[in-house]
Amino acid sequence: MSFYINNYNPKLKWPLSESDIVNIHNKKTKIFINKISAGFISLWIGVERLINDAHNHNLKLAIATSTSFSNAKVILESTLGKDALNFFEVVAAGDIVDKKKPASDIYDHVLDKMNLNCNECVVIEDSEIGFQSLNSAGLKTVITLSEYTNTKNFKGALVVLDHLGEDDQPFQIVNGTPTTHTLVSVDYIKELYECNR
């Protein structure tokens, strides 16, 4: 908000102090958490299925997000259940690193916590700023588009898809090599990884 006010000089009825901005942000977070807790959001197509598939293959999972831990926690618990945090070895939120995305700090933090290097991981990302961040960390990615990113290029991604897919909702490849797969699975991710070594 400070950046916006300083750079775009909006017409405000009164000047906002730093504490006003903190209070507005805290109020926004409270409204967001209440809406999420009330079930106003659902998981994207294929997310829960892919999490289960990864667990069945004994893969390590992590979340690297720019949002606060409290926001991430409420989203996970409202969509995946009370034990959702246990599905992930690391849940790294933006409030634990000095520089948020597009800096690579959040991904570097996750790699360090999981004792992995970038060549041992594939990231699923849905934002341009996240894509910039993971590229800075040297990670490979599968992109799923959203209404905010459907016009972006994502050059260098393993594949760009409309969503992760389900048995009755196959994904569409927006950019990438054609495949016989119709949903993102551990096997498909391995295939993408091997083809792009």
Task: Give the CATH number of the domain where residue 103 resides.
Answer: 3.40.50.1000
User: Distance between CA 38 and CA 65 in Å, rounded?
Assistant: 22
Q: Are residues 94 and 21 in the same domain?
A: no
Q: Are residues 21 and 86 in the same domain?
A: no
* Residue 196's pLDDT band (cuts 50, 70, 90): confident
What range does the domain containing 21 cover? 2-8+16-37
Q: In the prediction, which pLDDT does 2 show?
A: 82
Q: Which two tokens stand for residue 14?
A: 């009164």
Q: How is residue 153 annotated by DSSP?
A: -
Q: Are residues 33 and 51 in the same domain?
A: no
> Is the residue at 161 inside a domain?
yes
Summarize the confidence of residues 62-83 as an average pLDDT: 91
* Residue 89's pLDDT band (cuts 50, 70, 90): very high
Q: Are residues 54 and 30 in the same domain?
A: no
Summarize the confidence of residues 145-154 as an average pLDDT: 79
Do the beta carbons of residue 75 and residue 82 sit within 8 Å? Answer: no
Summarize the confidence of residues 52-73 as an average pLDDT: 93
Q: Are residues 81 and 116 in the same domain?
A: yes
37 or 90, which is more confident: 90
Q: Are residues 133 and 180 in the same domain?
A: yes
**Which bin fits 181, alpha (ψ -120 to 50), beta or left (φ > 0)?**
beta
Provide the percentage of residues in the chain whose pLDDT is more than 70.
99
Q: Are residues 25 and 84 in the same domain?
A: no
pTM of the model: 0.84
Q: Are residues 99 and 21 in the same domain?
A: no
The 3-state DSSP class for residue 91 equals strand
For the stretch 120-137, pLDDT in tens is 999 999 999 999 999 999
What torsion, rounded to 10 degrees, do the Cα atoms 69, 80, 148, 122 define? 80
